[in-house]
Chains A and B, each alone.
Chain A
Amino acid sequence: MALVGGIGSGKTTELLLTMDRLRRHDDAVNVFLEASEFTDFSETNPGAMLAAIGLRLCARIGKLFGEPSEQVRSASDKLRKLALGTTEWHGEPPDSEEWDGMYAVRVPGLMKPRFPELKERVAEVKDLLETVLSRFLERDSQITVLVDGLDRLIEPARFREFAEQDLRALRGTKVTMIVAAPLLLWYDHSRFLDDYFDVVKHIPVAAVDPKESRFLKDILKRRGADELMSAASINDICRFSGGVLRDLLELAQSAAQDAYRGTEDRISKQHVREAVRQLGNRYLAGVGTTRRTIIRRLLRDEQFSPSSPVSRDLLVNRQVLEYSKGGRDYFRVHPALVEVLPEPA
């Protein structure tokens, strides 16, 4: 399954909630992987995600099923070497009078990039992983791997580079994968999502009408908003968040801190207005003439197409938000940005 959504839309929260639900089942074995565990993103390292999954499962075997078999232990050792690298000792004499007969050669691992022959090794990692998996599958364990963080590779092509070999290798292994994917894949015409995932879930902003959303208000009220601000201020925070969960919390926190710095014990409309202005100015940074033209056209004519690179940038940067209602996607300028957008000259 691919979980597709913009920055701050709540993909990580969805993954964590899914993990929480799965934990209720006795036969569930869940692995939550943050992409930075197996890559520094500087270049692709195919096989690293598989290796990371394998290592995590190896660590569980002893606890779940007791002493692992010799075969599994051997696979685990090999996976560890492939993933983390190893130091091999070679007997060739170097040009040195103090030579003691051996010299060390560092062999980098899959989880540290720069390994030219990696692609050939994906099959090897897959075989080792399957050996580890067999121990779980013979006990009818339901394995789910949740991968977060690859969505920070915003460009679809970069995401594909990282994901496609490992995802393809996992086909037929009886492992369920749930991967957070960048929003642009939703608007990409390459069919990557259809080809690699059985289910694609698009997470647009949380509320079509943020100002009226009971869901957004409940999020704030559960954090004590009722005691700190008026209903009108809660409405304003919901409205100017545009329905983006992270922005909702950010606005509330920013307004609260502004009140605190002013030594006041309640959040006023003025504090909320200041928080909105702060958030809007963040979105305004780097918005030049071309982007302003597109934004104004969307404000004026409600016309926006994510087909051009500039338009897609606006979506990625959340200056334009995507909404979904009745199966139809449509776009709006982020309401906090609208508040600070200068009038055309």
Chain B
Amino acid sequence: MMKFSAITPFRLVRSLGVAGARNPAIYLLICEGPAAATVEADLLAETAVQLGGSIHVNTASQVLRDGLPGWQDGSTRLIYFDAWLPDLVAALDRHSAALVQDGGQLLLLADEKSAERLLSTAPNLRSRLTDVFQIVPDDLSGGLPA
């Protein structure tokens, strides 16, 4: 089992905010299935409240089918790995340098198994990750993750 630091959507969005909208960043966020929907909702809400913006959300399957549109507005995108898609991961790896070159911020949300496979099979992408976190839903008191 991988042991990455825990973070909540509140604290992650705070980091994104301080880095600035034009500061490119790629985060790998590890979250097991049932909590992923809550985390996604929390991220959207925190982004709206803290940054006054929104997150463009796609599943990995959608990105594989339709491609990842370029974005120049410094906004945040989230790709949720709804399945392990080696072709998509290979493409993200080879294009890792271009993923956020225009200042966007990319969040990759995956379960532990997919995250571990991504880290071990996509060395270019791994090298460009800003950080890797176990992300857990915010508790209502806004306290630290357990």
Residues of A with Cβ closer than 8 Å to B? 7-8, 12, 34, 36, 40-42, 148-149, 152-154, 246, 250, 253-254, 257-258, 260-261, 274, 277-278, 281-282, 284-287, 316-318, 340
Partner of A282, one of B14, B18, B98, B119: B119
Q: What separation, in Å, do the CA atoms of A153 and B123 have in the docked complex?
A: 11
Q: What separation, in Å, do the CA atoms of A254 and B7 have in the docked complex?
A: 13
Q: What separation, in Å, do the CA atoms of A250 and B129 have in the docked complex?
A: 9
B interface residue count range (under 10 / 10 to 19 / 20 to 34 / 35 or more): 20 to 34
Which of A148, A278, A340 counts the most B-chain CB atoms under 10 A from its CB? A278
What are some 20 contacts across the A-B interface (CB < 8 A)? Answer: A36-B98, A149-B97, A152-B97, A153-B94, A253-B130, A254-B131, A258-B5, A261-B15, A277-B3, A282-B119, A282-B129, A284-B2, A285-B2, A285-B115, A285-B116, A286-B116, A286-B117, A317-B123, A317-B126, A318-B127
Residue of B nearest to A288 (CB): B120
Majority SS of interface residues in chain A?
A: helix
User: Shortest beta-carbon distance, A34 to chain B, in Å?
Assistant: 7
Majority SS of interface residues in chain B?
A: helix
Q: What separation, in Å, do the CA atoms of A342 and B94 have in the docked complex?
A: 31
Given contacts A261-B11, A285-B119, A286-B120, contact A7 B97 (CB under 8 A): no
Q: What separation, in Å, do the CA atoms of A250 and B26 have in the docked complex?
A: 12
List of A residues within 8 angstroms of B3 by Cβ:
277, 281, 340
User: Shortest beta-carbon distance, B105 to chain A, in Å?
Assistant: 13
B121 on interface, CB distance cutoff 8 Å: yes
List of B residues within 8 angstroms of A36 by Cβ:
94-95, 97-98
| 8 extra A-B contacts, CB within 8 A, seeds A277-B5, A284-B2 | A7-B123, A41-B95, A149-B97, A246-B127, A258-B5, A282-B129, A285-B126, A318-B127
Is there an interface contact between B127 and A261, defined as CB atoms closer than 8 Å?
no
Is there an interface contact between B132 and A282, defined as CB atoms closer than 8 Å?
yes
Is there an interface contact between B130 and A318, defined as CB atoms closer than 8 Å?
no
9 residue pairs, one from A and one from B, having the closest CB atoms? A286-B120, A285-B119, A41-B94, A7-B127, A8-B127, A317-B123, A152-B94, A285-B116, A152-B124
Residue of B nearest to A257 (CB): B15
Is there an interface contact between B18 and A286, defined as CB atoms closer than 8 Å?
no
Is there an interface contact between B14 and A261, defined as CB atoms closer than 8 Å?
yes
Is there an interface contact between A286 and B124, defined as CB atoms closer than 8 Å?
no
User: Shortest beta-carbon distance, A156 to chain B, in Å?
Assistant: 15
Is there an interface contact between B120 and A285, defined as CB atoms closer than 8 Å?
yes
Residue of A nearest to B7 (CB): A261
Q: What separation, in Å, do the CA atoms of A318 and B119 have in the docked complex?
A: 12
B96 on interface, CB distance cutoff 8 Å: yes
Is there an interface contact between B96 and A152, defined as CB atoms closer than 8 Å?
yes
Is there an interface contact between B121 and A286, defined as CB atoms closer than 8 Å?
yes
List of B residues within 8 angstroms of A257 by Cβ:
15, 18-19, 131
Given contacts A152-B124, A282-B126, A317-B120, contact A260 B15 (CB under 8 A): yes
Q: What separation, in Å, do the CA atoms of A278 and B98 have in the docked complex?
A: 24
List of A residues within 8 angstroms of B129 by Cβ:
282
Is there an interface contact between B130 and A154, defined as CB atoms closer than 8 Å?
no
Which of B7, B18, B94, B115 counts the most A-chain CB atoms under 10 A from its CB? B94
B46 on interface, CB distance cutoff 8 Å: no
Residue of A nearest to B128 (CB): A246
Is there an interface contact between A278 and B131, defined as CB atoms closer than 8 Å?
yes
Residue of B nearest to A42 (CB): B91
User: Shortest beta-carbon distance, B30 to chain A, in Å?
Assistant: 10
List of B residues within 8 angstroms of A278 by Cβ:
4-5, 131-132
